[in-house]
């Protein structure tokens, strides 16, 4: 399985990510699933592996906006054309 497929499936272990990238994606996942669960320790961990406050903020903005777009699409029943998702909705999005 390639990196893109692993990420599409939400399998961070199979993606072979470096620790900084993995922590950033876990942070984005926390925002997506339950933003109130983001902790000071999680943000400090991002800083410890080299992410700047600006990069952390940008990741938070992107994750929050993506969540907004998905919720709006769900609200209005908007589904991607099958040409974009020939094998169905990615497991990471379910």
> Domains of the chain: which residue ranges?
18-93
In angstroms, the CA 15 to CA 63 distance is 19
* pLDDT surpasses 80 at 85: no
51 burial (CB, 10 Å; 0-12 / 13-18 / 19+) is buried
Q: CA-CA distance, 81 to 45, in Å (whole number)? A: 38
Residue indicated by tokens 């600006």: 54
Q: Over 90: is that where the pLDDT of 8 sits? A: no
- Which pLDDT score, from 0 to 100, does residue 67 have? 92
- The pTM of the full predicted model, rounded to 2 decimals, is 0.83
- Over residues 9-59, the pLDDT tens digits come to 888 999 999 999 999 999 999 999 999 999 999 999 999 999 999 999 999
DSSP labels for 42-67? Answer: HHHHHHHTT--HHHHHHHHHHHHHHH
């Amino acid at each position: 399985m390639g990196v893109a497929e692993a990420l599409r499936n939400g399998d961070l272990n199979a993606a072979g990510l470096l620790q900084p990238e993995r922590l950033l994606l876990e942070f984005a996942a926390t925002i997506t699933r339950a933003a109130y669960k983001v902790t000071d320790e999680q943000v400090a961990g991002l800083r410890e592996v080299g992410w700047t406050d600006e990069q952390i903020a940008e990741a938070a903005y992107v994750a929050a906006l993506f969540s907004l777009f998905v919720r709006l699409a769900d609200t209005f029943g908007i589904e991607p054309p099958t040409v974009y998702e020939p094998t169905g909705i990615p497991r990471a999005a379910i």
